[in-house]
Amino acid sequence: MRQAPSKAYFGRRYTLSASHRLHTQALTTAQNRAAYGKCNNPYGHGHNYVVEILVGGAVDPETGMVVDLAGLDALVDARILARFDHSNLNADPAFAERVPTTENLCCMIFGLIKDELPAGKLESVRIEETENNYFECRDAPAEPPGPRG
């Protein structure tokens, strides 16, 4: 009996600094203050985010790696860091109609790189916003499990 190839995971951390204001026109001033607290400050505030990318897949028999590190770095530099590092997230067109919460940023980053990896499958994007807060986005299953039998 042939053994199935093992799946391995490679994680890489990146940092970016960005500011944002949590606010939506869908809520009143009082509702925005209640929902977002000090994060609704009209002048915004910033974070030094730590973005973790986790790629899974078969280990390439020639290189011994799941994903080419240089290729992953180039992708993240071009699609994520160049766009979001040292920026005001509220000014990004993708946040014109959505609140720039870290949940939304995390899911956006996932979507921006998931189909462009040099190898492997994007398993998750995790962002540490503060020492106490982190957020994670994973791909949803392609289809819900059906009935058994």
Predicted local distance difference test score (pLDDT) of residue 2: 57
CB 47 within 8 A of CB 130: yes
User: For residue 111, which of 82, 140, 89, 134 has the smallest C-alpha distance?
Assistant: 140
Selected residue with higher pLDDT from 72 and 5: 72
Selected residue with higher pLDDT from 50 and 142: 50
Amino acid, single-letter form, for residue 54 = L
Beta-carbon count within 10 A of 119 CB: 16
Does the domain at 7-138 match CATH 3.30.479.10? Answer given as yes
- Which among 47, 86, 103, 143 is annotated as catalytic? 86
Predicted local distance difference test score (pLDDT) of residue 149: 47
Task: Respond yes or no: is residue 86 known to be catalytic.
Answer: yes
Sign of the torsion angle spanned by Cα atoms 113, 119, 125, 130: negative
- Which among 52, 103, 107, 129 is annotated as catalytic? 129
Sheet holding 45-58, edge to edge: 87-88, 7-20, 45-58, 121-128, 134-138
- Confidence category of residue 42, pLDDT binned at 50, 70, 90: very high
- Which among 39, 52, 107, 136 is annotated as catalytic? 39
Per-residue burial over 15-34, b if 16 or more Cβ lie within 10 Å, else e, is: ebebbbbbbeeeeeeeebee
Predicted local distance difference test score (pLDDT) of residue 139: 84
> Residue 77 and residue 82: Cα distance in Å, rounded?
6
Query: In Å, how far are 16, 94, 147 from 83, measured between CA atoms?
Result: 10, 11, 43
